[in-house]
A and B are shown apart, each in its own frame.
Chain A
């Protein structure tokens, strides 16, 4: 079994061929998976939106607002909810990104944690904690204007996740940001046409 020798020609040729083949197959693979990847991403966002909104038949993304995703959902032409993505940098280890759904009057419908790097078992509990109707944990159905949505340690009316006050603060901070965004932009009304959920979902 004669091995190919390490001459310049051989070396270059080998690597060229290998990289070439690799490139070709990767390129095609990329083309192939491009669609599904996008779809998966979109599906995830949609799932989040659906989660934090009541039933709706049309969804529209407000592209006028910079730096965030802002969706209006309506049912039968009537605005039923607003979903807003918000990020707080105050997490225990990095940013916390959530999506909060508001009723048109500002009451919190539901939320979904999108991205975070909090400690498993501690900060990660926020995914359910603030939805659980136990003690003063839940923020669902609360209104940031009338309810003081900070942790009880800081004088608010929400129980922090045990042993994860920092994450809880950050989470509530993100809720606050979401609400402010809502406040600043809810007047941008009216919304219009029957854009379908599929179309409005992404850029």
Chain B
């Protein structure tokens, strides 16, 4: 049950983009087409889960035992940055098609607040453990994907419509995001 709540909370109630304001840049940046939205979701899920696992162990094995929790930010981001680069280099070689699909998004991920945010938030869970953290990370990635893909669907449709000149592009995208967030507030209080 606890896991179910984590999942629902992460996807709907506390959606990482629409209510926690994390990962907004890619949300706005790579949502012009559904296909890129899907690619980005894949890349984010991948990195988010791995990053959460690695940072979990760093926290538990290094930072906490030595009492240097204040290094959280710097160590986590170092790990994430290296990880992203690692994945990028490897993917390019191992699976060029996958790299074609995800590659362009990877560099963006380093500076995606959602990854670092989720890694830090995962440690704040009650009685946290590794399984819970992973579930937490996956659910947030799904929530990110849900928001991103829905949003890119809307934007694809808006592309075919005649939006007033002043609102074209970013402004209307932000308004749509706002209305989407407004809609998602309906899920408030479920968990």
Contact = CB atoms under 8 A, between A and B. Distances in A.
Interface of A: 19, 22, 26, 30, 92-93, 166
B164 interface: no
Interface residues of B, number: 7
Contacts of A92: 188-189
A6 to B, nearest CB: 12
B74 interface: yes
Given A26-B74, A30-B68, A92-B188, 8 more contacts: A19-B78, A22-B74, A26-B70, A26-B71, A30-B70, A92-B189, A93-B188, A166-B189
Contacts of A30: 68, 70
Contacts of B189: 92, 166
Provide the main secondary structure of the chain B interface.
helix
Nearest to B14: A93
Contacts, number: 11
A30 B68 CA distance: 9
Nearest to A34: B70
Contacts of A166: 189
Interface string B40-73: 0000000000000000000000000000101100
A26 B68 CA distance: 11
A93 B74 CA distance: 29
A89 to B, nearest CB: 10
Contacts of B188: 92-93
Contacts of A93: 188
Top 3 A-B residue pairs of the complex, sorted by shortest distance between their CB atoms: A30-B70, A92-B189, A22-B74
A30 B189 CA distance: 39
Interface string B77-115: 010000000000000000000000000000000000000
